[in-house]
Chain A
Amino acid sequence: MKAAFQNPVLFKELKLRFRSGKSFNGVLFYLIAICIFVFGFIFTTMSMTGVSYFRPDESLMLFVLLAFIQLGLVLFITPGLTAGTISAEREKQTLGILLTTSQSSFQIIIGKLLSSIAFLLLLIIAGLPIYSLVFLFGGISPMQFMKVLLFLFVTMLAIGSVGVLFSTIIRKTIVSMIATYGTMLFLSIITGFLFLVIIQVTTMGHTSVGAPPTSYMGHFFATINPAVLFATIVVPGVTEGITGMTQVKFPIWGGYLLFYLAITIISLFLSVKKLRVNMKRSK
C-alpha cells in the first residue's frame, strides 16, 4: 500500500490523464447518458403503466439494467485503458529511461494499473448519485448495491491486470489490446456459451426423474462469467437455477471472487517479473 501512496508513476499518470479536458468531457457525457437513460426509463414506465408512481419491481428492473450497463462499461473500457500502459511507453521510447530509475517494478506496474482504472472508478463514483435513485422507489437492498459495486471493482481490477500483463509482454499496443479484448470476450461470452453446452451434454440422455448429474465444469464456467454473477446478485432465483442445473453447492460469488483475485495476482506477479530484463546469468 505504501507503494501506492508514494508512487511517482501513479501521480504523474493521474496528472497527465486529468490535465486535459478529455477526461472531464468523458465524465460529463457519461453522466448525461446515464441521466437520460434513468429518467427516460422512469418516464416511459409511468407512461406505459398509466400511473403516476414508480413501483418497487420496476425499480428493481432499473437497477438490473443499470448494473449490466456498468458491467458492460467495465468490460469494454478497462482493456482500452490498460492494454497500452507499458507498450505505449515502449513505443514512445520513454520506458528505457523509466526502467533505469530507482522505482521498483512493482511500483511502476501498480502505478500504471491504478492510474488507468482511476478514470473508470471516477465514472462509477460520479454516477453513484444517479444510481442511488433506485433506493427512492424501493425493491433493492443496500447489500445488493454494495455487492454490485464490489464485484464491479473486482472485475475491473482483474481485467485491468490482464491488460497490464499483455502490455508488458507484448511490444505492440494494438496486439496487446486485441489480446486483452480477446480475454475479456472469453470470460464474458465464451464461458457462458461453454456453460450452456456443458449443461446440455451432461443432461443429454438424462430422464426428467430425479436430479441431473453433477457438472463441476459447467459450474466453473458459470462461476467465472461476469454476466452470470451479476444475474445471481440482482435477479432473484438465478442462483438456485444454476445450482439446480449443475448440482454444485459452491457459491458462485465465492468462486468468482477467488478466480478473479487469482487472475489479478498472477497477472500482476508476471508483469512485475517481466517488466525489467533479468540481468542474472541464465542457469
Chain B
Amino acid sequence: MIEIKGLTKKYGRFYALNNLDLTLQEGTVFGFVGANGAGKSTTFLILATLLQPTTGDVFINGINVRENPKEVRKMIGYMPDFFGVYDQLKTDEYLDFYGASYGIPEVERQKLIPQLLELVNLSDKRYTYVDLLSRGMKQRLCLARSLIHDPSVLILDEPASGLDPRARVEMREILKTLKKMGKTILISSHILPELAEMCDEIGIIDSGRLVAHGSVAEIQAQLKGEKAIYVRFAGSAEQALSFFETEPHAHSIALTDQPNELSFIYKGTEEEQIDLLKRAISQNIPILSFREHVTNLEDVFMEITKGDV
C-alpha cells in the first residue's frame, strides 16, 4: 500500500509538487499522467528515496520514506525515465551485479537471472554485452533489473518512451504479466490509451497538483453533464441547424467536416437527452444517426489540463 500525504517539493519559489495526496491499495496499477514538468518524475524520485521532499510524507507498506529509506529501497523496484547501463558487462553480469547489490546470495542469483530474462524475453541475449542491445531490449533489461529483489512496488517512469510500436507492445505485455503477479505498479506514460488499457487507477497531475484521481471511468464521469453529440441527417442542413439552435440544452452547434453532420455540446440529464431526440424526430428532422462522442483518456487529459501540454 502507498500513502502520499501533503507531498510538496519546492525549488525556490517554484512548486514542482504542491500538496499531493494519494492512496493506492496493494496490487493497484496506477497510471500517472501529466505534461512534461508536471511533477510525475519528481514524485517518483521521492518515492525512490532519491529526492528529499520539502514537506509531506510518503509511506510504502507503512514505512515512511523519510524516516527509513533503507527499508523502503528493499521494497521498491525503480526504473527511471532516462538511464544508462554498464556497457562492458554482459546481460547476465548486469543482473548479477544488481542482485549482489541487494544482498541476494550467488546461488539464488544464478537461478533468478534466467527466470527474469525469460520474463522480459531476453533469454537469447544472456551472454550479450549490454551495449549491443537495442533500446527496447535495454528498457526490458532495466525492468528485469528492477525486479531482481522481488519488490512489492514497481515505480516505472516512462518505461515505454522512445520505443518503437513493437517494443511498446512487448513492454505492455510484460507489465500485464507483472500486474497478474500482484505487484503494485506506478507507471507514468505519455501514451494514454495504453495506460487506460492496463491501469486500475489514473492520476492526472498538472503544475504539481493532482487534479484528478480515480478509475478511467470515474475520471471520465468527472466531465459528465457536458458531452459532445454528433448528428448525421439527410436533407438540408438549415432545417437541422435551426431545430437544434432552438434547443436550450444544445450549445456550440456547428457543422462538422463530414457531409450532412453537425455536432453540439449537450448540457443536461440523460432523460432530457432522450426527450431532445424524440422532439427532433417529431419535427421530421431526417436523422440517420445520433451519437455521443466517446471520451477517451486523451480527451479527459486535455480537458482537465486545459490543453496545457
Interface residues of A, Cβ cutoff 8 Å to B: 8-9, 11-12, 15-16, 19-20, 92-94, 96-103, 276-282
* Min CB–CB distance B75 → chain A (angstroms): 11
Determine if A96 and B50 form an interchain contact, defined as CB atoms under 8 angstroms apart.
yes
**A281 surroundings in chain B (CB, below 8 A):** 66
B145 at the interface (CB under 8 A from A): yes
Complexed CA–CA distance, A16 and B129 (Å): 12
Determine if B76 and A100 form an interchain contact, defined as CB atoms under 8 angstroms apart.
yes
Determine if A279 and B49 form an interchain contact, defined as CB atoms under 8 angstroms apart.
yes
Determine if A102 and B74 form an interchain contact, defined as CB atoms under 8 angstroms apart.
yes
Determine if B66 and A279 form an interchain contact, defined as CB atoms under 8 angstroms apart.
yes
Q: Interface stretch among B77-85, B117-125, B266-274?
A: B77-85
Determine if B65 and A279 form an interchain contact, defined as CB atoms under 8 angstroms apart.
yes
Determine if B83 and A277 form an interchain contact, defined as CB atoms under 8 angstroms apart.
no
Determine if A101 and B98 form an interchain contact, defined as CB atoms under 8 angstroms apart.
yes
Chain B, interface size category, equals 20 to 34
B243 at the interface (CB under 8 A from A): no
Determine if A100 and B49 form an interchain contact, defined as CB atoms under 8 angstroms apart.
yes
Determine if A93 and B52 form an interchain contact, defined as CB atoms under 8 angstroms apart.
no
Determine if B97 and A278 form an interchain contact, defined as CB atoms under 8 angstroms apart.
no
Task: Give the contacting residue for A94; candidates B52, B73, B86, B93; CB below 8 A.
Answer: B86
**A279 surroundings in chain B (CB, below 8 A):** 49, 52, 65-67, 69
* Min CB–CB distance B146 → chain A (angstroms): 8
**B103 surroundings in chain A (CB, below 8 A):** 102
Determine if B101 and A102 form an interchain contact, defined as CB atoms under 8 angstroms apart.
yes
Complexed CA–CA distance, A223 and B83 (Å): 46
Query: At the interface, is chain A mostly helix, strand, loop or mixed?
Result: loop
Determine if B78 and A16 form an interchain contact, defined as CB atoms under 8 angstroms apart.
no
B70 at the interface (CB under 8 A from A): yes
Instruction: Name the CB-closest residue of B to A99.
Output: B50
Complexed CA–CA distance, A207 and B88 (Å): 67
- Count chain B CB atoms within 10 A of each CB in A97, A98, A277 and give the residue with the most: A97
* Min CB–CB distance B41 → chain A (angstroms): 11
Determine if B83 and A16 form an interchain contact, defined as CB atoms under 8 angstroms apart.
no
Asked whether A97 and B145 contact (CB < 8 A) given A20-B88, A102-B73, A277-B52, the answer is yes
Determine if B66 and A97 form an interchain contact, defined as CB atoms under 8 angstroms apart.
no
Determine if B102 and A94 form an interchain contact, defined as CB atoms under 8 angstroms apart.
no
**B254 surroundings in chain A (CB, below 8 A):** none
B16 at the interface (CB under 8 A from A): no
In chain B, residues 67-117, which have Cβ atoms closer than 8 Å to a Cβ of chain A?
Answer: 67, 69-70, 73-74, 76, 78, 80, 82-86, 88-89, 93, 97-98, 100-103
Complexed CA–CA distance, A277 and B47 (Å): 13
Complexed CA–CA distance, A97 and B157 (Å): 12
**A277 surroundings in chain B (CB, below 8 A):** 49-52
- Count chain B CB atoms within 10 A of each CB in A96, A99, A279, A281 and give the residue with the most: A279
**B82 surroundings in chain A (CB, below 8 A):** 93
B48 at the interface (CB under 8 A from A): yes
Complexed CA–CA distance, A11 and B96 (Å): 11
* Min CB–CB distance A282 → chain B (angstroms): 8
Complexed CA–CA distance, A101 and B77 (Å): 9
Question: Could you list 26 examples of A-B contacts with CB < 8 Å?
Answer: A8-B100, A11-B100, A12-B86, A12-B97, A15-B93, A16-B88, A16-B89, A92-B84, A94-B83, A96-B80, A96-B83, A97-B83, A97-B98, A97-B142, A98-B101, A100-B48, A101-B73, A101-B102, A102-B103, A277-B49, A277-B51, A278-B52, A279-B65, A279-B69, A280-B66, A281-B66
Complexed CA–CA distance, A102 and B67 (Å): 16
Complexed CA–CA distance, A27 and B86 (Å): 24
Instruction: Name the CB-closest residue of B to A94.
Output: B84
**A12 surroundings in chain B (CB, below 8 A):** 86, 89, 93, 97
B149 at the interface (CB under 8 A from A): yes
**B84 surroundings in chain A (CB, below 8 A):** 92-94
Complexed CA–CA distance, A19 and B100 (Å): 19
Instruction: Name the CB-closest residue of A to B45.
Output: A96
- Count chain B CB atoms within 10 A of each CB in A15, A93, A101 and give the residue with the most: A101
Top 7 A-B residue pairs of the complex, sorted by shortest distance between their CB atoms: A8-B100, A101-B101, A92-B84, A93-B84, A94-B84, A279-B66, A100-B78
* Min CB–CB distance B191 → chain A (angstroms): 22
